[in-house]
């Protein structure tokens, strides 16, 4: 008997479950694995033997999962130690996989999850264990290197651009409209924030200023820019990344977080929009400043998802099964942009070691010289990724979702 096991890790996305369904459907096509098992809550749950069998579930139930947001299998933020220092967890994990006759382990996640894929693939090679390890990409942050983009980003970008449009119109109804600041996710990179450039009316961008982590943030220049634009238009619309830093590398939002970090040592951010609001009020620009912190809606708003994004998440899941059948291990499935107009993409393999713990930043030439907006390149890059609206089943007027756990 030969089986595979799939699990999810890190922050959820609105399309992460589509990759699970891609794995399920591709195996159904080839009938290569007898069972598709799923680890609940990632590596952490697997080590506790919290595992279910997707192959025992109805086809209809699995297909509903494709259009259900957040991590249907649960998630975790669990960092494996280096097996050369301590291999106890590795031995326990392999024993669990062997007990289930698992030939292939598929892990869906971002930078840190690919670190797990790399470590596990190195361990099985070192210990001469015949189990294949493959990574499937996901992260709304879009910061994985070598892949053109990551599943989850397109839908998050569409939600951000849509919300930007709607709140811009809402904040433009008065004679004196003031300043509106939207805060998007992005600890190290500004891909999400930059996607607000997609928000246009009559072919013109509606956002006045876009601030990204890739550019050192100056409080003085920020106030000066906003003050000048406000005097010209009597209205300013701003989108800012939660991860903006000053010239010394300090997070602008740090005063709101108390220095809290996650298990991987990443600063827990949020609230930068209110810091900027207070600066503008204190500097006397205007007291009419409103803020909106988009928060987790960026990663779970399937009602505003991109069909392109769902389809690509599904395809990388399918590709992972195909590559595993060919004996590939130690890789992450990436997405190559074959053409932009019309948009065409295909799957390819990247060594997990090259992705793990590395970051892809927005190209410098995509940011304007003033460091307070992005160029047409950013618009052209993101536009194909938000195209299409999925046909989601509804029940009592609401989306019909499913919970496996």
Active site amino acids: 141
Q: Token pair of 4, please?
A: 């595979």
CA separation, residue 266 to residues 187, 214, 254 (Å): 8, 17, 12
- The residue among 189, 262, 9 whose CA lies nearest residue 116 is 9
Q: Cα 28 to the chain's mean position, in Å?
A: 27
Residue 30, Cβ neighbours under 10 Å: how many?
A: 11
Cis peptide preceding 342, ω within 30 of 0: yes
Q: What is the chain's percent helix, strand, coil content, to nearest 5?
A: 40, 20, 40
Report whether 9 contacts 113 (CB < 8 A).
Answer: yes
Spatial CB neighbours of 230, under 8 Å, sequence gap ≥ 6: 179, 236, 285, 286
35-39 and 209-211 as β-strands: parallel, antiparallel, unpaired?
Answer: unpaired
């Amino acid at each position: 008997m030969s089986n595979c096991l799939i699990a999810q890790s890190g922050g959820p996305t609105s399309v992460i479950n589509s990759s699970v369904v891609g794995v399920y459907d591709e195996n159904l096509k080839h009938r290569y694995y007898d069972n598709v098992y799923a680890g609940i809550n990632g590596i952490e749950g697997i080590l506790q033997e919290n595992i279910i069998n997707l192959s025992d579930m109805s086809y209809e139930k699995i297909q509903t999962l494709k259009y259900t947001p957040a991590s249907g299998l649960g998630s975790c933020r669990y960092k494996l130690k280096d097996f050369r220092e301590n291999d106890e967890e590795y031995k326990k994990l392999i024993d669990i996989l062997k007990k289930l006759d698992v030939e292939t382990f598929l892990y869906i996640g971002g930078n840190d999850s690919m670190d797990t894929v790399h470590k596990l693939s190195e361990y099985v090679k070192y210990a001469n264990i015949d189990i294949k390890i493959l990574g499937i990409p996901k992260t709304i942050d879009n910061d994985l290197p070598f892949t053109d983009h990551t599943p989850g980003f397109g839908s998050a970008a569409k939600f951000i651009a849509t919300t930007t449009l709607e709140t811009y119109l809402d904040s433009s109804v008065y004679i004196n409209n003031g300043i509106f600041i939207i805060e998007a996710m992005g600890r190290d990179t500004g891909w999400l924030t930059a996607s607000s450039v997609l928000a246009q009316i009559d072919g013109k961008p509606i956002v006045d200023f876009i601030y990204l982590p890739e550019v050192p943030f100056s409080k003085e220049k920020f106030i000066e820019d906003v003050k000048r634009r406000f005097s010209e238009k009597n209205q300013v619309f701003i989108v800012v990344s939660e991860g903006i830093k000053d010239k010394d590398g300090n997070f602008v939002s740090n005063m709101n977080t108390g220095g809290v970090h996650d298990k991987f040592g990443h600063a827990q951010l949020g609230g930068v929009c209110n810091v900027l609001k207070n600066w503008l009020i204190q500097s006397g620009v205007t007291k009419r400043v409103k803020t909106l912190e988009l928060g987790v809606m960026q990663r779970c708003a399937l009602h505003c998802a991109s069909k392109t994004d769902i389809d690509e998440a599904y395809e990388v899941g399918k590709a992972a099964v195909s590559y595993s059948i060919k004996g590939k291990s130690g890789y992450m499935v990436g997405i190559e942009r074959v053409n932009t107009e019309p948009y065409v993409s295909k799957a390819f393999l990247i060594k997990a070691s090259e992705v793990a713990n590395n970051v892809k930043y927005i190209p410098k030439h995509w940011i304007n010289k003033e460091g307070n907006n992005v160029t047409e390149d950013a618009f052209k890059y993101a536009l194909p990724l938000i195209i299409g609206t999925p046909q989601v089943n509804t029940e009592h007027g609401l989306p019909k979702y499913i919970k496996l756990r």
